[in-house]
Amino acid sequence: MKQSKLWFTLFIAPILFAFIVVVIVPMIVGIYYSFTDWDAIRTGSWVGFDNYARVFKDKDFFNSFVFTTKFAIISVISINIIGFILALLVTQDHKISNFLRSVFFLPNLIGGLILGFIWQFIFTRGFDAVGKLMGIEFLQGWLSDTTTGFWGLVILMSWQMSGYMMVIYIAALQNIPQSLLEAADIDGANSWHKLKHITIPLVAPAFTVGVFLALSCSFKLYDQNLALTGGGPYNSTQMLALNIYNTAFRFRDFGGAQAKAVIFLLIVAAITLTQVYIGKKREVEM
Partner 1 sequence: MSSNKHRSKKVILIISILLAIIFLAPFYLVLTNSFKTQQGIFLNVMRLPFGDFFNPQNYIEAFKQLNYIRSFLNSLFITVFSTIIIIIFSSMAAWMLVRTKTKLSTFLFFLFTSAMLIPFQSVMLPLVNIMGRLGLLNPIGLIFMYLGFGSSLSIILYHGFVKNIPIELEEAATIDGCSPIQIFLYIIFPLLKPITVTVSILNVMWIWNDFLLPQLVINKPQWHTIPLKMFYFFGQYSRRWDLALAGLVISMIPIITFYFIVQKHIIKGITQGSIK
Residue 181 near partner 1 by CB under 8 A: no
Residue 14 near partner 1 by CB under 8 A: yes
Alpha-carbon distance values, 105 to 17, 146, 159, 167, 225 (Å): 36, 29, 9, 8, 21
Touching partner 1, residues 16-55 (CB under 8 A): 16, 18-27, 29-30, 33, 38, 40
Least Cα distance to 72 among 225, 203, 207 occurs for 225
Cα dihedral 77→228→59→247 (10° resolution): 120
Alpha-carbon distance values, 197 to 191, 193, 209 (Å): 10, 6, 20
Q: Among 47-55, 63-71, 109-117, 142-150, which window interacts with partner 1 (CB under 8 A)?
A: 109-117
User: How many Å apart are CA 254 and CA 181, to the nearest integer?
Assistant: 58
User: How many Å apart are CA 164 and CA 216, to the nearest integer?
Assistant: 14
Touching partner 1, residues 151-180 (CB under 8 A): 159, 163-164, 167-168, 170-171
107 vs 231, beta carbon nearer partner 1? 107
120 vs 235, beta carbon nearer partner 1? 120
Given candidates 49, 56, 70, 102, which one binds partner 1 under the rule CB under 8 A? 102
User: How many Å apart are CA 99 and CA 96, to the nearest integer?
Assistant: 5
Touching partner 1, residues 62-91 (CB under 8 A): 86, 89-90
142 vs 164, beta carbon nearer partner 1? 164
Q: Among 64-72, 120-128, 176-184, 193-201, which window interacts with partner 1 (CB under 8 A)?
A: 120-128
Residue 262 near partner 1 by CB under 8 A: yes
Touching partner 1, residues 192-251 (CB under 8 A): 209, 213, 216, 219-220, 222-223, 227, 240-241, 244-245, 248
Tell me if the bond preceding 233 is cis, omega within 30° of 0. yes
CB of 59 vs partner 1, minimal distance in Å: 20
93 vs 137, beta carbon nearer partner 1? 93
CB of 226 vs partner 1, minimal distance in Å: 8
User: How many Å apart are CA 151 and CA 274, to the nearest integer?
Assistant: 27
User: How many Å apart are CA 176 and CA 42, to the nearest integer?
Assistant: 59
Given candidates 84, 104, 142, 150, which one binds partner 1 under the rule CB under 8 A? 104
| 234 φ/ψ sector (left φ>0, alpha ψ -120 to 50, else beta) | left
117 vs 151, beta carbon nearer partner 1? 117
